[in-house]
Amino acid sequence: MANQKRTDNDKVARQQAQQVVDLFLDVLLSRDRDAGWEGDSLIGKLVDFKGELPQSSGFSGFSKVYENSKKLRDWSESHVAACILMRALSDRQREALCFDRAYRGKTKVAVDPFTPEDRVEIYWSDDACAQQLRCTVKAFRDRVHDGYRNLEGMMAVQCAA
């Protein structure tokens, strides 16, 4: 991984590979709530209503569950292609790329809803990502580098075909 001057084509290929990871994360991190499911968690309601559960309106949204759940599998062609490309990587490379795009270089702020003045900030450095993945910083960086290189290669083959 010598420091080399990256060409414009290299930069475009890296951006496209990062977009693949972003699409994969869209699928990976989607939740029931993203598909239009209704309802909050019990703890969320307790916090919102300061310990008193709200009265029910009597309406049950269960009749909508099936229709809304279909949205979880109706991904765009780009999302499906991203999942196929990411599946071709090793588990370690896939994990490292996901951490690179979702966490690396970002600060996460955690707030306890009962003591909102006590904020905890976590900066996701290379070291923090490596610790979470149970590897060395060098291994994390190598997995990210190799993962992007493999993605870029697979996309180049697809474009040539």
Kindly report, residue by residue over 97-155, the tens digit of the pLDDT.
999 999 999 998 888 788 888 888 889 999 999 999 999 999 999 999 999 999 999 99
pLDDT score at 64: 47
For 118, the token pair is 């006590």
pLDDT tens column, 63-105:
444 454 455 567 888 988 999 999 999 999 999 999 999 999 9
- Residue 148: closest CA among 20, 27, 2, 7: 20
Give phi and psi for 112, each to the nearest 5: -75, 125
Whether the Cβ atoms of residue 99 and residue 132 lie closer than 8 Å to each other:
yes
Single-letter amino acid, residue 49: F
pLDDT score at 70: 53
Q: Is 108 left (phi over 0), alpha (psi -120 to 50) or beta?
A: beta
pLDDT score at 27: 85
Whether the Cβ atoms of residue 20 and residue 86 lie closer than 8 Å to each other:
yes
Question: For residues 148 and 94, what is the distance between their CA atoms, to the nearest angstrom?
Answer: 10
Residue with the larger pLDDT of the pair 4 and 78 = 78
Question: For residues 56 and 76, what is the distance between their CA atoms, to the nearest angstrom?
Answer: 37
pLDDT score at 21: 95
pLDDT tens column, 32-73:
555 544 445 555 555 555 555 455 544 444 444 445 445 556
pLDDT score at 150: 96
Question: How many Cβ atoms sit within 10 Å of the Cβ of residue 143?
Answer: 25
Residue with tokens 């909050």: 40
Give the residue ranges of DSSP H helices in 37-136. Answer: 42-48, 65-69, 77-87, 91-102, 126-132
Q: Inter-axis angle of helices 77-87 and 8-28, to 10 degrees?
A: 100
